[in-house]
Amino acid sequence: MVNHSSANDAPIPLTGVLLLIMVSIIWGGNMVSIKISNQGIPPILAAAARSLLASLALWAYARAKGEDVFLRGPDVKHGIVIGILFGLDFLFLYWGPAYTTASRAIIFLYTHPLWVAIGAHILIPGDSLTKTKGLGLGVAFVGLVLVFGAKSDTLGPQYWLGDLMEVLAAMFWAATTVYLKKFIWRRPISHFQTLFAQLAFSIPVLAVASFLFERGLPISPTPLVMAAFGYQVFIVATFSYLLWFWMIHRYPVSRLAAFTFLAPLFGVIASGVILGESLTVSLWIGLALVAAGIYLVNRPEPTTKAG
């Protein structure tokens, strides 16, 4: 178990920085893969299946390493809460690209750190908004307005619904993060148990939502669709999440989060290159402002030396 209070100001070594960049690239490609898999698998069903397969893969990997993935006693209730929040996050994350473009979706999704800053200010003592964080929120908000106003020929008539779903996904992701920071960090819970709880307890939420909203929708598992889905299960939900939680348990969360501005950058580039989406000037400016806001909100505060 990491002593988080003593690690608050510890710098991330070069190896950790390179791993963070790799995770950002993987996450940037996730929205593109969702857009592709949605062509053959109903989105909420894909999210449920992803959580199921990723939880099984994580269980098998943890067992091979002699690690326990199951929460016990009073910690189970925390696992249920983060699993429900995680499920609602991925409900909207997967559903949103059915209405909007991947490039827009990933920018709205990565407003997550902004909602974390607001939630932490309200719910976590000692994690108040500073002038720098307030500036970051303002800059990012202007960027979001520009992104929402950036129109292109690839947008459907209900693009705003997809944009809104991604904002809701960001809010539920933020709620998960704040809950973890408030109740989990200082408990003797491993990153295997944290991730498994999110995946496993999200399955019922997503399965029920798929039954209610997607009953009867066709499934067309082409090789491209299945390749994109496999990327989501094994590269994103298993490998990158396990790596992220491993880093969360070893490095200061604020320093890790400052790197999340890279994910929407890589995602927008991948959307243009792989999907051929129209990337307008307003979209790029909005992305730059959102990324700058994310960095300002998560930038570690300078320490003042006594004397």
Give the separation between CA 103 and CA 100, rounded to whole angstroms.
9
Write out the two tokens for 174: 């933020």
The pLDDT of residue 161 = 94
The pLDDT of residue 42 = 96
The pLDDT of residue 61 = 92
- Give yes or no for a contact between 197 and 71, defined as CB atoms under 8 angstroms apart: yes
The pLDDT of residue 297 = 81
The pTM (predicted TM-score) of the whole model is 0.85
Positions in the chain whose pLDDT score sits under 50 = 1-9, 305-307
pLDDT tens-digit map of 61-80:
999 999 999 998 889 999 99
The pLDDT of residue 306 = 44
The pLDDT of residue 156 = 77
Number of alpha carbons in the 13 Å side-chain half-sphere of residue 16: 19
Distances (CA, A) of 189 to 7, 186, 235, 263: 17, 8, 23, 27
User: DSSP H helical segments within the chain, as ranges?
Assistant: 14-37, 43-64, 75-95, 102-109, 112-123, 131-149, 159-179, 191-214, 223-230, 241-248, 253-257, 262-274, 281-298
The pLDDT of residue 96 = 94
- Give yes or no for a contact between 132 and 299, defined as CB atoms under 8 angstroms apart: yes
The C-alpha angle 226, 232, 236, rounded to 5 degrees, equals 150
- Give yes or no for a contact between 127 and 263, defined as CB atoms under 8 angstroms apart: no
How many CB atoms within 10 Å of residue 154? 17
pLDDT tens-digit map of 83-112:
999 999 999 999 999 999 999 999 999 888
The pLDDT of residue 227 = 97
